[in-house]
Amino acid sequence: MKKVQIRILAMTLLIVSGVQTVSAQSPVADSKRERILQVLDQSRPNEYVPAAFFLHFENKLGRKAVQDHKDFYRATNMDFVKVFYEIAVPKIDIKSGKDWEKVPVYGEDFFEPQVAVIEDLAREFKGEAFILPTVYSPLALAGQTLGFENRKNFKKLVEENPTAFGKAIKNLSLSIENYLRAARKHGADGFYVSSQGGDGNSLSPEVWNKYVRQWDKHVSEVAVEIGEINILHICDYGTPFKNAEALYAFADYPASIINVPLNFSDGTTLNLKEAQKRFGRPIFGGLERLGVIAKGSVEEAKAAVDELLKNASPNFILGADCTVPGDTDWDKLRAVIDYAHTWRQTHK
Amino acid sequence: MKTITKQTFRSLLLTAVAVTTFSANVSAQSYDNYNKRELLLQVLDQSRPNDYVPVFFNVHFPDKFGYKAVKSHVDWFRTTHVDFVNVKYEFVPQQVTINSSADFKKIKEVTPQEWVEQIEVVRELARELKNEAFIIPTVYSPLALLNQAAGTWNASDPKAAKQKLFELIKKDPKAVKPALEALTKSLVYYIREARKAGADGFYISSQGGDIDSFGGKLFRDLIKPYDKQLSDAANEVAPFNILHVCEGGGHFSAESFNDYLDYPGSIVNVPYHEFKGQALTTQQVAKLFDRPVLGGLARQGKLYTGTLEEAKAEVDAILKDAPANFILGADDSIPNDSDPERVRALVDYVHSWRQTHTN
């Protein structure tokens, strides 16, 4: 009798469990952390398409900044927690090229307010999603050092004394390293490393190659040494890359995923499938930061996602090529992100 | 000793813990708050080598089903520190006598209710361990199940029994197709049900016959269309699958692998020994399949036959030349009487190998 009962119970269980449907990478018990990691499986396309957009918040640091990040993450349903980099290195009065030598290495303590935001967000979300703080490049920090008014003299001040400029870049890179190590110790899982990103394309190739590149790359190397998963953002803020080949010059920068610019100054656009092949890594991005995601309706944005995902790389995360405008409608972002998540399951 | 009060002892202990904690360095893929699931997924990051090397060893347990089988699996996972829970395939649905090719008709599709016991093991293990590690059941191939049904594995002379079966199949390949189809359907059913019961992926044991008899054209024409369906089904329903190319006692050559390159699977596990003098290295396998590799050790390596020091030396040699994305394991189940404590010593050694052997 007992055996019969067990049999009936087992059958009932089987029937009940048989009702749910399953699919590859279906979120049965998988967290957003695992869904991002699944994108790294280049033996097949990721069926769940993670998505993330970023915008600068009104509050930069402190409790209110943490709250903004939380609200944005929850409201948009994006797949990782990207922490904005909002701490600027002090302005230094650089009148001549030699003054670049005044730039020091900033220690971990300098970054404390930024790390505090990371720590709070990690406490809240680390269990469910990756905490990926943004990291600016040494060049971007050199721009901060100059200050906004002096930035027009940037090129001139570099060329006056490239060696001193190289020292400043090195010190800034070592400062960023201190930030990365502090952030990792306080809960960051990895980093969104914004390489180049200070109008490096306006520098002469000689200065870029001799004084900047190795220290720009150093940031990615440190991130990869200490972080579980890292995204390399190849920033074309300021001056676009000439063509795709110029972009592929970054293929020796380490990182798990590449966030790419889309348009080049010669009028060509990036082929995402080709980009995955050339970088040998999954691609993140695809939408233009000032395109329909910023200005269009939800329907227009979805149509752009349709077009994009039809031609996306097999291993892909949806996003923009950089930060979207601060006044972008959060509900629209949510609609687009939710739409992307199931797109490959609904458009076979 | 008596002078140390309980409180002093406790504060000493706390200090020791604190010192240990703070002296720990952070490193990529360091396991501060994440689990073996993420450590395994990190192997898929082909932009860099995984500096934590996961390990997989498995044995067959005396208890096949029920509570005791579940407990054996849990104990093995806990004792040996291996990095995922491999659920053994132990189900023998049918036994038939095959004396002529007409007898292949006797092999039937396995009905859903017959799978209950095997699926319950998956479900119980998922309940127990899914939060910390992937639950990855083994799936046998249609050809293996054909052998199982025909009783060649348990025959008094397995080699002769296998030979007899193969002769029948070769003589009339068409006649065996309905049997292979029925077995394939049954296994696809198992994959789907096991996924629903909590499996995260599958260890797909492809081929599973004697490659000497079933390699080449016969494999491609007769076996592969069924065999590959299992990898396809696993790939369709589960996030993390391992393709195991099982040699089944035959002799793989490097070219034999070409037939498996289009099989899906996040990780590949192939045999490394018994090649006709042209064994592939783990790096060559990784390149050929363009995927991370599980393997490196033979089934009966020094872990079984030698001292722990010899086993470590063997592992040293393998890891020195391993591909960037690598999980260490044997090319099949290790002997059932392997000592779990010894396995654990080796597993622990491997986990931190890349962090302790930087050059």
- Give tens-digit pLDDT for A50-102: 999 999 999 999 999 999 999 999 999 999 999 999 999 999 999 999 999 99
Average pLDDT over residues A212-222: 96
Residue A29 is nearest to which of B27, B46, B130, comparing CB atoms? B130
Nearest residue on chain B to A11, judged by CA atoms?
B113
This complex has an ipTM of 0.80
Closest CA to A188 of A129, A232, A138: A129
CA distances for A107 relative to A125, A176, A178, A217, angstroms? 27, 9, 6, 20
Residue A238 has pLDDT above 90, yes or no: no
Domains of chain B: 34-356 (3.20.20.210)
pLDDT of amino acid B174: 94
Answer whether A87's CB lies under 8 Å from A115's CB. no
Question: Which pair of tokens denotes residue B69?
Answer: 């089988």
Please identify which residue in the block is written with the tokens 């233009």. A288
* Side-chain half-sphere exposure of B72, counting CA atoms within 13 A: 17
- Over residues A226-234, mean pLDDT: 95
Backbone angles phi, psi at B296, to 5 degrees: 110, -40
pLDDT of residue B111: 85
The pairing of strands B55-56 and A231-235 is unpaired
Contact list, A126 vs chain B (CB under 8 Å): 33
CA dihedral B117, B121, B124, B128 (to 10 degrees): 170
Sheet holding A257-259, edge to edge: A80-83, A130-135, A192-196, A231-235, A257-259, A283-287, A316-320
Question: Which domains are seen in chain A, by residue range?
Answer: 45-346 (3.20.20.210)
In contact, A168 and A142? CB cutoff 8 Å: yes
What pLDDT does residue B213 have?
74
Q: What is the pLDDT of residue B275?
A: 57
Can you give the pLDDT at residue B5?
59
Contacting residues of B for A184, CB less than 8 Å apart: 26
pLDDT tens readout for residues B215-267:
788 889 999 999 999 999 999 999 999 999 887 666 777 788 899 999 999 99
Contacts for A317 with CB less than 8 Å, ≥ 6 apart: A36, A39, A49, A50, A51, A52, A79, A257, A282, A283, A284, A285
What stretches in chain B show pLDDT beneath 50?
1-3, 18-25, 31
- Asked if A4 is an interface residue toward chain B (Cβ–Cβ < 8 A), one would say no
Across A249-288, b (16+ Cβ under 10 Å) vs e yields ebeebbbbbbbbbbebeeeeebebeebbebbebbbbbbbb
Q: Is B239 within 8 Å of A126 when comparing Cβ atoms?
A: no
Q: Contacts of residue A34 in chain B, CB cutoff 8 Å? A: 37-38, 41, 239
Is B196 close to A40, i.e. CB distance below 8 A?
no
Tokens read off for A229: 């998963």
pLDDT at A106: 98
Phi, psi dihedral angles at B183 (to 5 degrees) = -70, -40
Disruptive mutation site among B33, B42, B45 for chain A (greatest number of A CBs within 10 Å): B45
